[in-house]
Amino acid sequence: MKKCCKDFLDAGEDSFTYQHVSLDKFPLIPWLHDDKRISFMKRCKESKNMDILYREGLLQYLRVNIGGGGCGVELLKIVAEKGHKEAKYVYGMIMLCSENEELRKHGLKHMRFLRESMCVIRCRKNVEKILQYVWKNNKKLVQNQINLCKSKNTCKSWRPKQGRWSLLDDDDDDNNDVNMCEYCRWDHELVSFSKFFHVH
Ligand SMILES: [Zn+2]
């Protein structure tokens, strides 16, 4: 159930509605003070709307990286584990940047879920979109320089889904071809993530 939040500004008093409404139309950081929006957001938060918790986790995470605010990554983890796809993407990619192999495995679990649901690229685009006007200075997020694929020279590698005219990397998910190397697929994703998330 994904309905535009606008439909709910004046209607829908039950908490199920607030719990499931999509917040896509709202920017991550609002430009204007708007009492109606604030009260709507408050109601969503009280109803444990996953979208709002994801946004809060994202903002907290970015703030801690510029020297303030809470941790964020814990909240992202909670929301990811509840099944929020964009939270899975952000949390999964942050974990894949880690030097800790166990955390990387944790990240893989979430990314595999998205791949099986055929929505890795859609999630990437949504995260990129919500962060487009947000200042990112991820000084603390340093990417593990060791590739996930440990046998780049011999493995069958991975390539984006082949379109009719060119390689499509932004329209659809990959083929999920079992003959391609899964680790190379995530190494490829880390390149995209590092660019828009400003990972060092
Ligand atoms: Zn590989």
**HEC readout, 67-105:** CCCCCCHHHHHHHHHCCCHHHHHHHHHHHHCCCCHHHHH
CA proximity to 174, closest of 156, 187, 150, 158: 158
pTM across the whole model: 0.82
pLDDT band at 88; cut points 50, 70, 90: very high
DSSP E strands: which ranges in the chain? none
Q: How far is the CA of 99 from the centre of ligand 1 (A)?
A: 19
Q: How far is the CA of 177 from the centre of ligand 1 (A)?
A: 13
Q: How far is the CA of 187 from the centre of ligand 1 (A)?
A: 8
Q: What average pLDDT does range 153-172 have in this prediction?
A: 63
Instruction: Report the first-to-last Cα separation within the chain, whole angstroms.
Output: 37
pLDDT at site 34: 81
Gap between the Cα atoms of 102 and 109, Å rounded = 11
Contact predicate 115/173, CB 8 Å: yes
Cβ of 135: how many Cβ atoms within 10 Å? Answer: 9
Q: How far is the CA of 50 from the centre of ligand 1 (A)?
A: 34
For residue range 4-33, list pLDDT tens digits in order: 444 444 445 677 888 888 887 788 877 777
Q: How far is the CA of 181 from the centre of ligand 1 (A)?
A: 5
Q: How far is the CA of 147 from the centre of ligand 1 (A)?
A: 9
pLDDT at site 14: 73
Contact predicate 28/131, CB 8 Å: yes
